Amino acid sequence: MNTIIILMCALVKLVISPIPDEPNDIYPARVLSQQKNISENSDLYVTCSTFGNKKVSSIYVYLCKNGLGISRVTQKQDQHDSTFVVDSVGLEDSGNYSCVFSKTDYPFSEVAMIGHNIIQIQVIANFLPADISVAGVWTVSEGEDIEFRCAVSDALQTLGDCQVIQSYLRKNESFLQVQEFDVARRETTFFIKDAVTRDSGHYSCVVLPSRCIQQQEKTLYGNNAVLIQVEGEGSFFLLRLTVECGVITLLLLLVLCLWLITNKQAFKVFVKSCSGNQQVNADMLEEEQQQIDGEYQNVQHGEAFSMEEEEGGQASGAADDMSSSDEWEEDEERVYDTLGGHRQGTITLQQYVVLIEYLLVSSVRLTGKPPLHY
C-alpha cells in the first residue's frame, strides 16, 4: 500500500514540475545565393528573405549551416531581405545553408533549425596535392628523358564542372612546368627532355581545381611570337673561329698602336721614310746610270789605246796596275763607309743601291762590257 502511494506521489510531482524553456518563436525563412561553387579564399554572399511574414517590430535573422546558426543580423520592420557575407571562405565552409528569424536574440548554440529551403555551397580548393610517380627507374643518365605521372585518387570538384584544369610539376618547392589535367581521367603526364645534372632534385605535383582551362583558351595567342633557332656544331665552330680571329687581329692592332705611341721617334722616322722613299730612289737610280755610262766610256777609251800601252813596256803596265788597284780600294772604302754602321742591322734601300752600283762597276772593270740598261 505504501508502495502505491509513493509511486502516485512521484507521478504527480513529475507532471507538475516545470519543463525547460525551448525557443518556440523561431520561424523559417528563405535563403538565396547565386554562388553554388566558389573558389577558396573568395567571399560568399548569401541572402535571407522574410518576405510574406507580417512583422510588428524589428527581428533577428540567422544564417544557419547544417542546421546550426553561425551568423546573425538585425532586420528592420520595413525590410524583407538581409545579406550575409562570409569572407575568404575555406574548405571547411562547404555545407548546407538555410535561414531562420526570431523576435528574440538567441545565442547560436540555441538556434538549431532549418529554414524553408537549403542551398549547398561547395568551396573549391585552389591547390590539391596529387600522387606522383616515375615511369622507369629513379636514376637516369644525362641525355635521357624523364616521364612523370601525376594522378589523384578521389573525384575532383571543379568550378562549373570544368573538365580540364591546370596542374603543376614542382621541383624543390618551385614550380617547374604547367600541364593540362584531365578531370575525367584524373591524371596527366610531365616530361623532362635530355636530362642534365641540374635536373636532380625532389619532385612533386599539385592540381588546381579552381583554375579551369576553357576550350577556347587553347587557341588564344599572345601579342607577338619569337623564333628560336638552335645552330648545329659546324655553324657554332665557324662562328667561334671568326670571333677568335677577330679578337686576335684587334689585339695585334692594339699592340702596334701602343708601340707607335710609346716610340714617337720611330714613328716619325717611319712616316718620313715612307714619304721620301720614292724621290730618293729616283735620284739615286739616275746618278747610278750616269756613273755607269761614264765608266763604260772610260772602258772603251782604254781599249783603243790598249795596244800602245802594251808596247810602252813593263814600267807603264805596272803604273796602270797600281792605278787600278787604287780605284778598287776607293770603291771598296765608299761601299764600306756606306754599310759600315749597319753591318749588324737591317740594310736599307739606299744601302742596297750602293751595293748594286759597286757590283756593276766591278763587272765593267773585270769584263770590259757594259751591263744591260735598267
pLDDT at 72: 95
Helices (H), the chain: 2-16, 233-262, 264-304, 306-311, 314-339, 349-367
- State in Å, rounded, how far the first CA of the chain is from the last one: 173
pLDDT at 132: 92
- The amino acid at 19: I
Q: What DSSP string runs through 80-94?
A: -EEEEEE-S--GGG-
Q: How do residues 333-356 score in pLDDT, each as one tens digit? A: 554 555 454 444 444 555 555 555
* Cα 314 to Cα 311, 319, 367, distances in angstroms: 9, 9, 22
Q: How far apart are CA 85 and CA 43, in angstroms?
A: 7
Cell numbers representing residue 4 in the block: 502505491
Which long-range contacts does 354-363 make (Cβ < 8 Å, 24+ apart)? 356/288, 357/288, 357/291, 357/292, 358/331, 358/332, 358/334, 360/288, 360/292, 361/291, 361/292, 361/295, 361/331, 362/328, 362/331
Report the C-alpha gap between 168 and 145 in whole angstroms: 18
Q: How far apart are CA 152 and CA 207, in angstroms?
A: 9
Q: Which three cell numbers stand for residue 100?
A: 531562420
* Helices 233-262 and 264-304, packing angle to 10 deg: 80
| CA pair distance 7, 236, nearest whole angstrom | 109
Classified as helix, coil or strand, 49 is strand
Burial of 365 (0-12, 13-18, 19+ CB in 10 A): middle
**Cα 152 to chain center, whole Å?**
34
Residue 73: predicted pLDDT: 95
Total residue length of the chain = 374
Q: pLDDT below 50 — which residues of the chain?
A: 12-22, 219, 228-233, 299, 303-322, 328, 335, 339, 341-347, 372-374
Q: Each residue of 156-207: pLDDT tens digit?
A: 888 878 889 889 999 888 888 998 988 888 899 999 998 888 888 899 999 9
Q: Give me 271's grid cell.
A: 712616316
Whether the model clears a pTM of 0.75, i.e. scores above it, the answer is no
Whether 360 and 374 have beta carbons less than 8 Å apart is answered as no
Q: What is residue 281's predicted lDDT score, i.e. its pLDDT?
A: 55
pLDDT of residue 251: 80
Phi then psi for 306, rounded to 5 degrees?
-65, -35
Q: What share of the chain is helix, strand, coil (3-state, %, to 5)?
A: 40, 25, 30
Instruction: Kindly report the backbone phi and psi dihedral angles of residue 198, in degrees, each rounded to the nearest multiple of 5, phi listed first.
Output: -70, -10
- The 10s digit of each residue's pLDDT in 302-337 is 544 444 444 444 444 444 444 555 554 555 555 455
